[in-house]
Amino acid sequence: MYAPKDVEKPIVPVRLDLDSTICFTCDKELACFTKCCHNNSTFLTPYDIIRLKQRLDMPSDEFLLTFTTPGKVEASDLPVPMIKLVEDRNNACPFLGEEGCNVYEDRPVACRYYPVAAGLFHNFDLSDNENFFALIKEAHCLGHDLGQEMTIAKWRKQQGIPPYDENNRGWVEIILRRKSLGPFVEIPEKTLQMFFMACYNLDAFRRFVFKSNFLKIYRVSSERLEEVENDDVALLHLGYDWLMTTLFGAGRLELIEQVVEADEVEVD
């Protein structure tokens, strides 16, 4: 999720788990303050985009156009938005201000985890909820071995990470399913567009649900429709169910049999 470009071997190859301990602090008084906000490659998860677009009061398509650049998930052809750095500010994060992060309360999960790297797409087993982590040590960072020692579990809670991981879980599952198909299975462009819309461009996905043939093909309860009409998180989980049903035949959404063969959902 976070890959510094200017430091050799920034990740210490030691596997950590939720009970492993770290000792780290980030403080404005440290000489390295905000250096990690330059020259990095940070991709945004679906829940990151929900929090940031709501914080900035922007529709998702405008947010994506303004603050992101296209990327791909490692070892996959699935698209992922990367934070677009500001070149004339020494490749700074666009959310970096003079006093630090301007969106700190809604900062991306990669920033929350730092200096811990989460192995989301490697040894994460959805069947038994296994996680693994590694410690990032960059040459410029002075925060290591400072502050209170705590477990990774406590660090995650302190940094407000659990709701991010919970609401990104369906996204991780879809990516892992795609990876399990292997590199020689080609994913059609329309499928990639579906994935991008349902995971990242939620305002477009909401229009898609209510203005296309979607509700003639998939049976969605009135209670759930009321939720997704006004709640981006509920809409995101509907998107996960749609992708799992459409791409992998997982049956997360019920098909309306009498129209499923006659009508086809079109992606804008």
Q: How confident is the model at residue 233 (pLDDT cuts 50, 70, 90)?
A: very high
pTM listed for this prediction = 0.89
Please check the confidence at residue 230 and state whether its pLDDT lies above 50.
yes
Average pLDDT, the chain: 88
Which pLDDT belongs to residue 68? 98
Which pLDDT belongs to residue 185? 86
Residues 112/160, Cβ–Cβ less than 8 Å = yes
For 41-109, the DSSP string reads EEBPPHHHHHHHHHHHT--HHHHHHHHEEEEE-TTS--EEEEE--BGGGTSB-TTEETTEETTGGG--H
Please check the confidence at residue 195 and state whether its pLDDT lies above 70.
yes
Residue predicted with more confidence, 74 or 61: 61
Which pLDDT belongs to residue 15? 77
Which pLDDT belongs to residue 138? 85
Percentage of the chain lying above the pLDDT 90 cut: 71
Average pLDDT over residues 27-53: 94
Please check the confidence at residue 6 and state whether its pLDDT lies above 70.
no
* Bridge partners (DSSP) listed for residue 117: 134
Please check the confidence at residue 1 and state whether its pLDDT lies above 50.
no
Q: How confident is the model at residue 258 (pLDDT cuts 50, 70, 90)?
A: low
For 99-144, the DSSP string reads TEETTGGG--HHHHHTTEEE-TTSS-BTTTTB--EEEE--TT---E
Phi, psi dihedral angles at 55 (to 5 degrees): -60, -45
Please check the confidence at residue 2 and state whether its pLDDT lies above 50.
no
Please check the confidence at residue 214 and state whether its pLDDT lies above 60.
yes
Please check the confidence at residue 203 and state whether its pLDDT lies above 50.
yes
Instruction: Summarize pLDDT for 116-153 with one digit per residue, the tens.
Output: 987 665 544 445 456 778 888 888 899 999 989 999 99
Residue predicted with more confidence, 120 or 19: 19
Largest interatomic CA distance in the chain: 66
Q: How far apart are CA 22 and CA 116, in angstroms?
A: 9
Which pLDDT belongs to residue 216? 94
Residue predicted with more confidence, 128 or 154: 154
Could you give the angle at which helices 189-199 and 202-211 cross, rounded to 10 degrees?
110
Least confident of 5-9, 85-89, 97-101, 140-144: 5-9
156-to-30, 138, 149, 160, 201 alpha-carbon distances in Å? 22, 20, 13, 6, 27
Percentage of the chain lying above the pLDDT 70 cut: 86
Q: How far apart are CA 228 and CA 218, in angstroms?
A: 14
- Category of 26 on φ-ψ map: left (φ > 0), alpha (ψ -120 to 50) or beta: beta
Which pLDDT belongs to residue 4? 43
Which pLDDT belongs to residue 180? 87
Q: In this structure, how many other beta carbons lie within 10 angstroms of the beta carbon of residue 74?
A: 15
Please check the confidence at residue 88 and state whether its pLDDT lies above 90.
yes
Q: How far apart are CA 55 and CA 253, in angstroms?
A: 31
